[in-house]
Structure 1
């Protein structure tokens, strides 16, 4: 659910139901975990996450949340140009 938009910045609330079916996005993104925990797949890396963590995903990278708790929810911040920021 999109909640805010200004320039290239979009802020969304994301709460998948049992399975995270995301596809790679065309812009960089940051997740701020509101509640819950689980495993975050970010390209070829997998790591545990929990409430309060900040997670970064470059544009075009396969990513998803797995084995997350029922209360899992996150803010998502999309920003920058398509293809991601270079730098």
Structure 2
């Protein structure tokens, strides 16, 4: 889904998430190389490394974030940077977990 507006709410983005899949995400706003979305997986996080740099801003829930070989707890309000091609995933997250995700820049990162 691509919104034509330049502003959207967390609630409207959550409502646009597809049901029935483990890796639930949507990108309501895109401009050039930048995408802003909501990511709210169920059960486990199946993602693989990405080609762009990314920033997560935790909106709800708690759990652990693994980047390369380091594991740290997260909570609402935390910001997490992941450089392009870095192995990463969310683990042991609560049922209400959802995060903003922002991708930008060239393939391979900045």
- TM-score calculated relative to the size of structure 1: 0.96
Provide the aligned length of Structure 1 versus Structure 2: 85
Say yes or no: does 1:22 pair with 2:44. Answer: no
Unaligned ranges ≥5, structure 2: 1-25
Q: Which has the higher contact order (CA 8 A, sep 6+)?
A: 1
Regions of 4+ moved over 3 Å: none
Unaligned ranges ≥5, structure 1: none
Say yes or no: does 1:51 pair with 2:72. Answer: no
**Higher Cα radius of gyration:** 2
- TM-score calculated relative to the size of structure 2: 0.76
Structure with higher helix content: 2
Alignment RMSD (CA, Å): 0.5
